[in-house]
């Protein structure tokens, strides 16, 4: 797969727009929340690898993505069904919302929203959580932001900037109603499942450590 043929001017303009979009999103997050930890990572890729990243990201207009670590106070759970053992009433641990994508074998955080011209990353994330799971949540902060920069390790010009945002949120209302066109399942976990994505695992660990 080859990078689409472009003039030097086209490359310069596209690069600047992509980079400015990412930096603008970070600026808006920092204006909205007190603490926005940003990790910058730079990658030099072979022409083949860069071509794949280009096609998967800048080639489709992608410059940001967001997922949400949604927690629910265990005391807010609904009353028990008469078919549930009474001892379950004493389990009031906080829960975290996780999803299992179609064809996936790792539990992940819901969201997967990239926003647009009239929608912020946090608005997109909240919307996508509801679309995927039926749950309404409220963003309370930013857990982590990854600003990744990709360059070809050759004389060719070009760069791709991407943004991955992990939001913190609290449950507001709603019951699980899985969008089966996207997910195999969704559930509230009091303890992290054994198989989950690396990013979700890291945030889960901070959540567990913070609760000790």
* Domains in the chain with CATH codes: 8-75+109-177 (3.90.79)
pLDDT for the residue numbered 118: 78
Confidence of residue 212 (pLDDT cuts 50, 70, 90): very low
Q: How far is CA 40 from CA 62, 142, 164, in A?
A: 17, 16, 11
Q: Are 170 and 72 in contact (CB under 8 A)?
A: yes
Is pLDDT of 1 > 50?
A: no
Q: Token pair of 168, please?
A: 């913190």
Q: Is the pLDDT of residue 82 over 90?
A: no
Give the Cα separation of 212 and 206 in Å (integer): 10
Residue 3 has pLDDT above 60, yes or no: no
Q: Render pLDDT for 123-160 as a digit per residue (tens, 0 to 9).
A: 999 999 999 999 999 999 999 999 999 999 988 778 89
Longest Cα separation, the chain: 70
Q: In the predicted model, is pLDDT for residue 88 greater than 70?
A: no
For position 10, what pLDDT does the model report?
53
């Amino acid at each position: 797969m080859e990078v689409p043929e472009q003039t030097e001017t086209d490359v310069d303009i596209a690069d600047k727009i992509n980079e400015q979009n990412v930096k603008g999103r970070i600026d808006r997050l920092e204006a909205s929340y007190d603490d926005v930890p940003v990790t910058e990572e730079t990658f030099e890729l072979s022409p083949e690898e860069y071509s794949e990243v280009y096609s998967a990201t800048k080639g489709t207009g992608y410059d940001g993505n967001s997922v949400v670590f949604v927690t629910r106070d265990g005391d807010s759970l609904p009353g028990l069904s008469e078919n549930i053992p009474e001892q379950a009433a004493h389990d009031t641990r906080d829960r975290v919302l996780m999803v299992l994508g179609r064809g996936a074998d790792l539990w992940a955080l819901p969201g997967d929203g990239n926003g647009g011209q009239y929608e912020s990353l946090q608005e997109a994330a909240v919307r996508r959580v509801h679309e995927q799971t039926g749950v309404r949540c409220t963003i309370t902060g930013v857990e982590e932001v990854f600003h990744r920069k990709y360059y070809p390790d050759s004389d060719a010009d070009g760069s791709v900037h991407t943004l991955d945002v992990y939001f913190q949120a609290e449950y507001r209302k709603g019951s699980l109603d899985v969008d089966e066109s996207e997910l195999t399942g969704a559930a509230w976990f009091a303890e992290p499942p054994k198989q989950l994505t690396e990013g979700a695992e890291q945030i889960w660990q901070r959540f567990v450590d913070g609760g000790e």
